[in-house]
Structure 1
Amino acid sequence: MRRRARYTLPLAGVLLLAGAAAPAAAERAPGREGLVQLRRDVDALYATGATGVLAEVSGSGRPLTARAGVADPATGRPVAANARHRIESTTKTFVATVVLQLAGEGRLGLDDPVRRWLPGLVTGGEAVTVRQLLGHTSGLPDYADDLPLSRATSKQQFDSERFRPIPAEQLIAMAMRHPPVFAPGQGWAYSNTNYVLAGMIIERVTGAPWEQAVHDRIVEPLGLTGTVLPGTSAHLPSPRLAAYQRLRPGSEPVDVSTRVAGHADASIISTPEDVNRFLRALLSGRLLKPAQLREMQATRPAEPFAAVWDEPGYGLGLMKRRLPCGGWAWFHGGGWWNAITDNAVTADGSRAVTVFLAGSLDPGQDPTTQAKASARLIDHALCADR
């Protein structure tokens, strides 16, 4: 995920799971006690610095939903239960799923060199493979901090950039100005560049935009009616959970929800219900063949996130962490410009929880307390009745 008082990859780093729960426990809905706990946890998360919070837990029974704060400080309207939010790097799990589907169909190989599909684009990265892109082991530098939008320190600067789409090739060129972080396959480092390239490979293999593949293979089959693939549109549809950001300490917060974010690393807009449905379908084996799901869940340690999660690991577009009640939770959160998403699902897909947070942290403010509060909410939701 990216980063700017933003979790970028999930810390969240913001930003920002394999054993199974006992089947009998996993099949039971959390019930009224679970709803009371969810409301407490949402209030606690809101108190860490937010304008609005929305969380939903989905299982075999009726979903549990809790909200706090407002959908938009400018209007004071309450947060809608079906609010749309920029899910940022959770986009990566959708994209990785499509790549793995194509691999399962024999249309590409995970160990194909990137140059096979995108010749000449990754300078000096002839050894980088599709697998390394999905698992952040490519060593490719992250383009995100070179974005003009990332450097905005005034509303005027932000407004001058928010509607300007940047072609994927230009983002890759930004990254290629920097030396590799390490030789391909010789380390782990989160980089949004990897998933811009993954989206471009999907387009080369399918002959259509990566958004079309995600829609046709995931959004439409699962009935994700609240999910939007915005392309070059800067609009966040209503009902929305708006994010505000001070561009420098002491300045007035700016509504940063309206902005172009049209690439395969972090652009999908969705609802908690849809994210939960996607995660449950993924872990229950509805979207990937067993061999490809195993590839996705083959993780390596992701130490940068150990400050928030126990034993974090990163697979191919999917993370895992140890649950306090035993077993693992699988997830991929994300966040930028105070628009934060956290989520997790049990290993068998029987229960999932998604948290949307419109944060109010200033640039440079440590998000660790906030990330830990969200992790506790998810722990309680997934460990209920266990």
Structure 2
Amino acid sequence: MPILRALLAAPLVLSLLGLGTASLPSEPHLTPAASYLPRLVVQGGAPAAALQARNSAYPPYDFYSSAGSGIRPEDRFRAGSITKTFVATVVLQLAAEGRLRLSDPVERYLPGLIRGHGNDGRRITLRSLLNHTSGLYDYTEASGVVGGVGPSAPALTAEAAVRAAVARDPAPVRGIFAYSNTNYAVLGLVVQRITGHSYATEIRHRVLVPLRLDGTSLPGARTGLPEPHSRGFHRDRPGGTLRDVTALDPRFAGAAGELVSTLADLNRFYTALLGGRLLPPAQVRALLDTRTAQGAYGLGIYPQKLSCGTTVWGHDGRIPGSYVRTATTHGGGRSLTFRVNTDTLPDETLETALLEAEFCRSPATERRRP
């Protein structure tokens, strides 16, 4: 899934070799996925890559591994579009409470905001925002609305982002899956209208505090990362010099991608979500329903079927200085999150190979290897 692709335009705009391993508490061979980390560093030119894998069945393990230098297990980093799963969780909780229906039109909560150029909030439902079938243009691709990366970069409010998207003729067709960050900018505004609180406040109250995700935050206007954190880097062009983009104004990403988190926190969140701890059964079924999006996307989460037949659920995140991918099995029994501290991958097939190395094997068999 692309996340904030306009963040990577030139000049850089807002658009997640040494080896080191540490295990908690298992041996390194328990996670063959770790063997792909050096390739992410060498082929991708990233200073460092890291992963954390968790299994709650026998044998249980929580394993961290890294390649390169500059990433520690407890480091905070920008998680980009993984924010969308958190926002979707809040919306589904509100649906479970009867405070909204997924079939409600956007117009009911934000009258007049989406109107013109073929866009009509009376015909766009909350469900279509959640699964990217609304037909709304992606505001990150609207020219003239993106500022440069850095602590003094101009911010873009959610309302301005939506208006910039609505001012463009809709690129996709309504009812067809087409990933658009505008959908989640709108959902953030809907949450605020219904609850009287920002989506960030609702995420903290409903998700971060109950799950004790102490390394996760929504920074708002804060340009720096909480300690401890590693640096994030970007190349303006292939083969170019790495540039430190750790400090940036995340308000442009907003409900579509501002989250800051840790590897362990993301595993804990998706484990709880897929394990039914955050949503009632009816909302879990809605979360994983990909039919409207032609199998590509549920509600803030998407599936990937691996060659062994296992399907994992999760999201990726891309924002300047960070690429993140998280995946969890249905029921939350096994999860893995990996990251690199740049915003590109050398080869998307490496991501699939890494996931298959983790999920297409028997942990018990791996435990018996000499």
TM-score (norm 1): 0.81
Query: What is the match of residue 350 of structure 2?
Result: 373
**Residue 51 of structure 1 contacts residue 360 of structure 1 at CA under 8 Å; is this kept in 2?**
no
Counterpart for residue 181 of structure 1: 171
Cα RMSD of the aligned pairs, angstroms, is: 2.5
Q: Distance in 1 between matches of 2:30 and 2:313?
A: 22
1:359 corresponds to:
342
Distance 2:332 2:340 in 1: 23
Q: CA deviation at 1:5?
A: 8.7
**Residue pair 1:330, 1:344 contacting (<8 A) in 2 also:** yes
Q: CA deviation at 1:218?
A: 0.4
Query: Which 5+ residue runs of structure 1 have no aligned equivalent?
Result: 7-14, 17-28, 72-78, 153-157, 304-311, 362-366
Q: Distance in 2 between matches of 1:371 and 1:5?
A: 19
Indicate if the aligned counterparts of 2:130 and 2:183 stay in contact, CA closer than 8 A.
yes
CA contact (8 A) 2:53 2:337 kept: yes
Instruction: Tell me the matched-pair count.
Output: 338
- SS of aligned partner of 2:160: helix
Superposed, 1:311-326 pairs within 5 Å as 313-326=296-309
Evaluate the alpha carbon distance shift between residue 244 and residue 344 of structure 1 in structure 2; reply closer, same or farther with a 3 A threshold.
same
Counterparts of residues 295-314 of structure 1 (less than 5 Å): 295-300=286-291, 313-314=296-297
Q: What is residue 254 of structure 1 aligned with on the other side?
A: 243
* In 2: Cα distance, 1:350 partner to 1:176 partner: 41
Structure 2, unpaired ranges of 5+: 9-14, 17-23, 364-370
Pick aligned residue for 1:99 from 69, 91, 96 = 91
Q: Secondary structure at the match of 1:333?
A: strand
Partner Cα distance (2:89, 2:161) in 1 = 22
From 260, 264, 267, give the equivalent of 1:273.
264
Q: Deviations over 1:140-191 (max 9, x none)?
A: 0000123768575xxxxx44x7542221111111111211124432x11000
The one of 68, 90, 114 equivalent to 2:106 is 114
3-state DSSP of counterpart to 2:113: coil
Q: State the structure with bigger RCO (CA 8 A, min sep 6), 1 or 2.
A: 1
Name the structure 1 match of 2:362.
Answer: 385
Query: Are 1:288 and 2:290 counterparts?
Result: no
Deviation digits for residues 193-216 of structure 1, max 9, x if unmatched?
A: 000000110111110111010000
Q: 1:233 & 1:4 partners in 2: Cα distance?
A: 21
What is the rounded CA distance, in whole Å, between the counterparts of 2:25 and 2:238 in structure 1? 41
Deviation by residue 1:195-245 (Cα, 9 ceiling, x = unmatched): 000011011111011101000000000000100110111111222232211
Q: Distance in 2 between matches of 1:47 and 1:162?
A: 33
From the superposition, tell whether residues 333 and 288 of structure 1 become closer, same or farther in structure 2 (CA, over 3 Å): same
Q: Which residue of 1 aligns with 2:221?
A: 232
Choose the corresponding residue for 1:80, options 50, 62, 72: 72
Q: Does 1:168 align with 2:158?
A: yes
Q: 1:148 to 1:172 in 2, by over 3 A?
A: same
Q: Secondary structure at the match of 1:317?
A: coil
Matched, 1:217 2:206: yes
> Could you tell me which amino acid in structure 2 is paired with residue 169 of structure 1?
E
* Runs of 4+ off more than 6 Å: none
CA contact (8 A) 2:313 2:330 kept: yes
Determine if contact 1:343/1:352 at 8 Å carries over to the other structure. Answer: yes
Distance in 2 (alpha carbons) for counterparts of 1:291 and 1:144 = 33
1:326 Cα deviation (Å)? 1.8
Amino acid across the alignment from 1:273: A
1:350 is matched by which residue type in structure 2? G
How far did 1:333 drift? Answer: 0.7
CA contact (8 A) 1:162 1:258 kept: no
Aligned to 1:330, the other structure's residue is in SS state strand
Which among 121, 132, 139 is matched to residue 136 of structure 1?
A: 132
SS at structure 1 position matched to 2:250 = coil
Letter in 1 for 2:242: P
After TM superposition, the structure 1 stretch with the greater mean CA deviation from structure 2, 369-378 or 200-209, is 369-378
Counterparts of 1:201 and 1:257, CA distance in 2: 30
Amino acid at match of 1:42: L
Cα 1:167–1:96 shift into 2, 3 Å: same
1:325 aligned counterpart, secondary structure: coil
Aligned to 1:138, the other structure's residue is in SS state: coil
CA distance in 1, matches of 2:273, 2:327: 12
Which residue identity lines up with residue 84 of structure 2 in the other structure?
K
Kindly provide the amino acid, as one letter, of the partner of residue 38 in structure 2.
D
Task: Work out the CA distance in 1 between the residues paired with 2:5 and 2:248.
Answer: 16
Task: Confirm or deny: 8 A CA contact 1:133 1:194 kept in the other structure.
Answer: yes
C-alpha separation in 2, matches of 1:360 and 1:226? 21
Residue in 1 that maps onto 2:193 = 204
1:58 corresponds in structure 2 to: 54
Distance 1:281 1:357, change over 3 A: same
Structure 2 distance, partners of 1:297, 1:83, is 30
Structure 1 Cα separation of the partners of residues 76 and 101 of structure 2: 35
Q: Does 1:32 align with 2:32?
A: no
